[in-house]
């Protein structure tokens, strides 16, 4: 009897000890989050960017081509955290949407932002079925929307300009969501797979409105470094100090193209590529930023 009592005491002590470790880990984790953290995951041929805002909000922009995203999120997020505040699907191509299936199944999602354009693929059908099943609220992205993310972090939606809800497009990239994330003096332009037509529209609109700013510290290069994006005049205005290219090792599309690498070098951008560097992490305190890779 005495032995059982002793064992019970020992077990409760171990449980209490484990709880204390979890609580202290949580305290340090949350306190340590003074910075904006952006992870550009090495996810194969596709896009996936995870944003952690100092206020605690978490945003996932695209999920890459497979469930590889789960391991990446597992490493980026604390183990007790099973929710993501916002999922952004830049456009419905499989290399952006497929990884989001498992994310929808395993995490509580606060909201989804998409263009609403129609796209008749099995992947896009499955995406909508899952959204309905999990009852996730869906908002439609329009240029001019401002997402206030707390503690001075803002995501400006810069594209699409037109209403594409239920519209079938020959090229889904024409309705691609472009966002510009700012924290203090630092800015990141997230292009998704936007191509030249969107770049030209953005240049035109930015000339006519002082509210549309393209100049950014970091550029998530459009369409994996394909030559149909990153036109010279656009890159001159964005004038990124760092250009991040999300492309898979030895991908069959030849992304990124030498032409785009040359154009980025011509505007003085330091080029970082997931296919060469692995995961790329950016941290900003609102005044300065650092980028490292693994």
Q: Residues in the site for Zn ion, rule: CB under 5 A?
A: 93, 95, 193
Which lies closer to Zn ion via its Cβ, residue 54 or residue 63? 63
CA distance 198 to 190: 13
CA quadruple 289, 154, 91, 142: dihedral sign: negative
Q: Are 117 and 168 in contact (CB under 8 A)?
A: yes
Which lies closer to Zn ion via its Cβ, residue 53 or residue 68? 68
Question: Minimum distance between the CB of residue 147 and Zn ion, rounded to whole angstroms?
Answer: 22
Q: Are 88 and 116 in contact (CB under 8 A)?
A: no
- 259 sits in which H/E element: helix 258-266
Which lies closer to Zn ion via its Cβ, residue 54 or residue 92? 92
CA distance 230 to 236: 10
Question: Minimum distance between the CB of residue 37 and Zn ion, rounded to whole angstroms?
Answer: 23
- 138 sits in which H/E element: strand 138-140
Give me Rg for the CA atoms of the chain.
21
Question: Minimum distance between the CB of residue 200 and Zn ion, rounded to whole angstroms?
Answer: 18
Q: Are 162 and 141 in contact (CB under 8 A)?
A: no
Question: Minimum distance between the CB of residue 223 and Zn ion, rounded to whole angstroms?
Answer: 6
Question: Minimum distance between the CB of residue 99 and Zn ion, rounded to whole angstroms?
Answer: 12
Question: Minimum distance between the CB of residue 172 and Zn ion, rounded to whole angstroms?
Answer: 6
Which lies closer to Zn ion via its Cβ, residue 95 or residue 199? 95
Which lies closer to Zn ion via its Cβ, residue 62 or residue 279? 62
CA quadruple 115, 121, 127, 133: dihedral sign: positive
Which lies closer to Zn ion via its Cβ, residue 54 or residue 64? 64
Q: Are 199 and 236 in contact (CB under 8 A)?
A: no
């Amino acid at each position: 009897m005495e032995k059982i009592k002793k064992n019970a005491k020992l077990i409760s002590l171990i449980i209490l000890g484990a709880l204390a470790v979890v609580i202290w880990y949580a305290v340090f984790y949350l306190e340590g989050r003074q910075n904006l953290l952006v992870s550009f995951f090495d996810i194969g041929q596709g896009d996936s960017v995870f944003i952690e805002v100092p206020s605690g909000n978490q945003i996932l922009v695209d999920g890459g081509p497979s469930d590889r995203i789960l391991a990446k999120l597992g490493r980026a997020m604390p183990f007790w955290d099973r929710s993501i505040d916002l999922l952004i699907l830049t456009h419905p191509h499989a290399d952006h949407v497929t990884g989001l299936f498992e994310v929808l199944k395993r995490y509580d999602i606060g909201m989804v932002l998409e263009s609403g354009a129609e796209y008749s693929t099995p992947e896009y059908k499955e995406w909508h079925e899952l959204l309905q099943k999990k009852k996730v609220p869906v908002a439609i992205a329009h240029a001019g929307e401002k997402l206030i993310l707390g503690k001075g972090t803002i995501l400006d939606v810069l594209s699409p300009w037109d209403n594409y809800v239920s519209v079938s497009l020959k090229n889904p990239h024409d309705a691609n969501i472009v966002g510009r994330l700012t924290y203090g003096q630092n800015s990141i332009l997230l292009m998704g797979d936007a191509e030249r037509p969107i770049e030209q529209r953005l240049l035109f609109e930015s000339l006519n409105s002082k509210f549309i700013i393209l100049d950014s510290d970091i550029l998530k290069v459009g369409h994996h470094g394909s030559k149909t994006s990153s036109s010279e005049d656009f890159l001159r205005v964005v004038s990124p100090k760092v250009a991040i290219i999300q492309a898979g090792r030895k991908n069959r599309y030849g992304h990124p193209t030498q032409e785009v690498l040359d154009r980025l070098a011509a505007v003085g951008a330091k080029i970082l590529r997931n296919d060469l560097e692995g995961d790329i992490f950016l941290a900003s305190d609102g005044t300065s930023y650092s980028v490292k890779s693994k």
